[in-house]
Amino acid sequence: MPENRENWGTKIGLILDMAGNAIGLGNFWRFPYQVAKNGGGAFMLPYFAALLLLGIPLIYVEWMQGRYGGKYGHGTIGCMTYLQAKEKLGHSSAAIIGALIGMLVFSVTVLVNAYYTQITGWTLGYSYLSLTGGYMGTARSTAEVFGSYIQNPSLSITFWVITLALLAFALSRGVQKGIEAWAKVMMPLLYVFGFILIIRTLTLGSPVNPDWSPIKGLDYIWSPKWSELNWQSALAAAGQIFFTLSLGMGIIQNYASYLKPDEDIVLSATTTVFLNEFAEVILGGTIAIPIAYTFLGPEGVASGVGLSFIALPNVFRMMTGGQFFGALWFLVLFVAGFTSAIAMYNYLITILQEDLNVPRKIGAVVVFGFYILVGLPSALEPILTRTSELIFLTELDNWVGNYFLVIVGLIEAVVVGWLFGEKKAKEEINRGSYWKVPSGFFNVMVKFITPLSIAVLLIFSTKSYIDDG
């Protein structure tokens, strides 16, 4: 048992940390526009199917991999993969697979953070603008306000750097005093703010068209347009499950490496999935879309990436108490983004700590500098091109969400199902668990159903993408 490796302090802390890791911009910024873009209710069917067939099995797999690695003092997915593949493949082949998956996941983390911390910075900036009335009472459209925000470095870069500095500070304090302390304050606040916003949303009436009501907005998500269900929207739904549960990034494994060796996996993991889905489908789904629908109608809902930053500010302008509710909305986004960014940041610090022996405090500063570098292209794109098209950011988000995370998930299922082996995996996962998973979970689900579903999705959606030109 390695010395000096921290553990989570309390059970409630562990659950809130994992929930903070999962609940992120994915729930409040990405989910609503993905639903709107992919046919409303027609998206929800593949979404829930992906939750059951891919999300839940892989969450158990990732928690198990993490706790297993932590036992040997390893917090990165590359080392865990090596440990799990070693027996079947021998040292050198396992080392190659471990290194490859380590590098793949490292690249994915870098790509995500090339835009994720940027958007988290916008949410902080927009909380400030909402509170101070920055986009209220001006003749400019909210699209113009957003454009000038991202093109103005004294706003966009400043709030981004403040966000990164806060992250560096939180992470420098370690697992219990840093990550856990922040999650214990931030996560309950997120739910309280979310509930206030839901109540406000459901009691809104449309000032524009009596036909537009929040309930109609809900109907938009929950009534399927079957004609819009296809392979690409199914892949988008699966990708959203990966994104929102933080799967395929090595960050669940990283957090799970701080579990005590006998800490319950199945019940704790299921609880965090539930907390995340509640925050996504109920909070994320019941706020943004119904608000946008009530004030802007069906077209306002379908506004893509700009739903949170362009459509909703337009509503906050019209709404009584809009300054306050706007600030609340962007704070929810900020808290969500921040606690997920903490998880990704910690993953990079772990690599420095465990592979290169860099102390945590120095690691926190190194990652800060690294984030500035990798985030610069998406920060500079609007400033240099003087447009708000955000082509680079949108492309990154599509690739990460639709392909990379899902591919890592496929590899994980193969490593655990086929190399680590059913018997050991089952024993590992069930040790200390209040609910036990049955044999079929590994024999059928992790070995066959999960990887095959991912493979089918990837093949058919790529084919239909190519066929569509």
Contact residues: ligand PHE, CB under 6 A: 22, 24-27, 112, 243-244, 246, 249, 340
Closest among 448, 425, 449 to 438, alpha carbons compared: 425
CB of 242 to ligand PHE, least distance (A): 7
CB of 403 to ligand PHE, least distance (A): 12
For residue 210, give both structure tokens. Answer: 């009596």
| SS3 label, residue 438 | coil
Nearer to ligand PHE, 22 or 319 (CB): 22
What Rg, from alpha-carbon coordinates, does the chain have?
22
CB of 343 to ligand PHE, least distance (A): 7
- At 431, phi and psi to the nearest 5? -65, 120
Name the DSSP letter for residue 445.
I
Distance CA 458, CA 469 (A): 17
CB of 252 to ligand PHE, least distance (A): 9
Nearer to ligand PHE, 146 or 243 (CB): 243
Nearer to ligand PHE, 230 or 402 (CB): 402
Nearer to ligand PHE, 244 or 257 (CB): 244
CB of 193 to ligand PHE, least distance (A): 17
| SS3 label, residue 40 | strand
Nearer to ligand PHE, 206 or 286 (CB): 286
For residue 197, give both structure tokens. Answer: 């916003």
CB of 409 to ligand PHE, least distance (A): 11
For residue 150, give both structure tokens. Answer: 């991202």
Nearer to ligand PHE, 28 or 441 (CB): 28
Distance CA 231, CA 213 (A): 31
Name the DSSP letter for residue 309.
T
Nearer to ligand PHE, 18 or 352 (CB): 18
> What is the total residue count of the chain?
469
CB of 317 to ligand PHE, least distance (A): 27
CB of 138 to ligand PHE, least distance (A): 31
Nearer to ligand PHE, 73 or 377 (CB): 377
Distance CA 345, CA 467 (A): 39
The answer to whether residues 260 and 431 touch, using CB atoms and an 8 Å cutoff, is no
Query: What are the beta bridge partners of residue 401?
Result: none
- The DSSP annotation for 205-272 comes to --SS-TT--HHHHHHHHHSB-GGG--HHHHHHHHHHHHHHHTTTSSHHHHHHTTS-TT---HHHHHHH
Distance CA 11, CA 419 (A): 31
CB of 340 to ligand PHE, least distance (A): 4
Distance CA 178, CA 363 (A): 14
Nearer to ligand PHE, 24 or 363 (CB): 24
The answer to whether residues 66 and 267 touch, using CB atoms and an 8 Å cutoff, is no
- At 360, phi and psi to the nearest 5? -55, -45
Closest among 14, 187, 97, 161 to 412, alpha carbons compared: 97
Please give the C-alpha separations between residue 354 and each of 340, 347, 359, 360, in angstroms, as whole numbers. 21, 11, 9, 10
CB of 463 to ligand PHE, least distance (A): 25
Residue carrying the six token digits 């991999």:
65
Nearer to ligand PHE, 94 or 101 (CB): 101
CB of 281 to ligand PHE, least distance (A): 13
Nearer to ligand PHE, 322 or 375 (CB): 375
Please give the C-alpha separations between residue 458 and each of 56, 253, 319, 336, in angstroms, as whole numbers. 19, 24, 43, 29
